[in-house]
Amino acid sequence: MSAPAALFHAGMRLPTGLPPARDGDELSQPLEPADVRAFWEEQSENRQPQSIGKDSLDISELRDLLSTIIHKSGAYKGAVKMGLYTQRCCDLYESLDSSGRIVFLKLLSVEYCAPKGEARALTSAYLESLAQSSDPAQSALRARALRDGLTPQYAELIDQINRLPGGFSFLVRMRADMLEYIRGHREDGAMRAMSDMLMKKLETWIIGTLDLKRITWNSPAFTIEKLGQYESVHAVKSWLDVRRRLGNGRRCFGFFHRSVPMEPLVFVWVALTDSVSDNVQSILQEREPTTAEAEATARCAIFYSINSQPGLSGVDLGNFLIKRVVGVLRAELPNIDTFCTLSPLPRFRAWLDQWLTPECLATPPRTMVNEDAQKALIARAPHTHTWTAALKHIIDSRGWTGDQANIDAMEPVVRALGAHYLVNVKRGKSHAAYDPVANFHLRNGACLHQINWRGNTSYSGLRQSLGLMCNYNYVLNRIEDNNERYVHDGSIAISGNDPFIAEAKRVAGNNMARAAKL
């Protein structure tokens, strides 16, 4: 399969709408793929209309259009006509720039939510029917009327859009816009409510409509390009990068919605290895992946990146994808008996910065890190007097990753802190692990297997977790029990013999015992 060389970095633009001039006979010198792509991109851009900003958006016209669809008012003349109005609404939204889309979404979430007056009246009628009538049929009718009255009016627009060809994909993109806005405006309850409702609808519509497909180098270029677009854990840098990840000893699987058969909703990258991997660079940068024949002797399947479209955040597809892929790999390669992840700790550095308070720097916990490791770390920052102060000094300094003595002294300290973070740090007052990736895999029934120092030495890996990664092991005959125990009381199953995890688990057990006595 041939592919344009500049797929993920097509920043070059031609100054005119023509291919670049060449010396000599142009017909005898074929264009490079990047030249052809840049030419057609510019032609496409020249044909596309300019985006409409919020100042150019006709709010009155937008209200009329939304009311026609939601209230079936105005020129409504049946399902076909309604589909045309809905398509017109989608076209309008797609033509807006980011500021115009926010105006659209805010108007929809505020002016077309559940009418408060009607909801109050229906609630009173329902309570009155319960007090005055013992007829269950009458109560059921009142309950249905109340439920309908509490349903936001924009639900009708969402349902109409989903009936359009490509409507499901449009709604996923629209929810991505909502989530991007909510990240900077957490106080906007109306927008959050609309996003949550759309998430539930998407989750419902997905059931029974997903197809599991293996993505290979021979898959459509459009599909492969989406892998680069949606990859959020380990950035795809080029077509060569993709080809390496799809080559021998590698797998990629995705769930596809039947209305969007070439665009994966969620996908997972897998490496077939002889042992449990402890460093992601060894997977991503390996020049000669395992030969096809060597796949028959691989013992481990390493899930090193799971990604979904941004608009599907909160929709639990990764759990089902991993389980389906495990089944496919077991059938294809019965020699594989270990199914592990190589996962990031995306909030570890942020948690560590908060944990290193002035009190902690002055009087650190003495039992979390052994004395030899404490002394070795303090020796790397002689002007400090505690191991926590020495750690903060090193990680806040520039160039610490280039000093091997610092790296060696930090390893037992950071691994101990990482194990404590995964096992003992919880989300609020719940039993759930604070780390979102840990919570995902532990809730799915995986075992915490190993803490990996220098597991990801990329810029993002060092910034997020000081390079720390971990393995979650899906031991197939323990998944159900692990899931039940974790959901019930937050109990974390472990596998392997990592001493830092064992120590953190021992501390967790002591804490639970003290809590039980109280």
What residues are labeled active site? 343, 441
Q: Outline where DSSP puts E strands in 8-52.
A: none
Structure tokens of 216? 């290979």
- 268 forms beta bridges with 253, 306
- 486 forms beta bridges with none
Structure tokens of 85? 């109005």
Residues 302 and 224 sit within 8 Å (Cβ to Cβ): no
Residues 414 and 468 sit within 8 Å (Cβ to Cβ): yes
In whole angstroms, what is the distance from residue 412 CA to residue 205 CA? 48
Task: Based on DSSP, count helices (H) and strands (E) in the chain, helices before strands.
Answer: 22, 8
Pairing of strands 250-257, 264-273: antiparallel
Instruction: Kindly tell me the sign of the dihedral angle through the C-alpha atoms of 245, 247, 248, 253.
Output: positive
- CB crowding 313-351: b at 16 or more within 10 Å, else e: eebebbeebbeebbeebeeebeebebbbbbbbbbbbbeb
The DSSP code for 314 is T
H/E segment holding residue 119: helix 116-132
Cβ count within 10 A of residue 37: 18
Phi and psi at 491, nearest 5°, equal: -65, 130
Residues 431 and 489 sit within 8 Å (Cβ to Cβ): yes
Q: Which residue has the tokens 């021998």?
A: 248
- 302 forms beta bridges with 271, 340
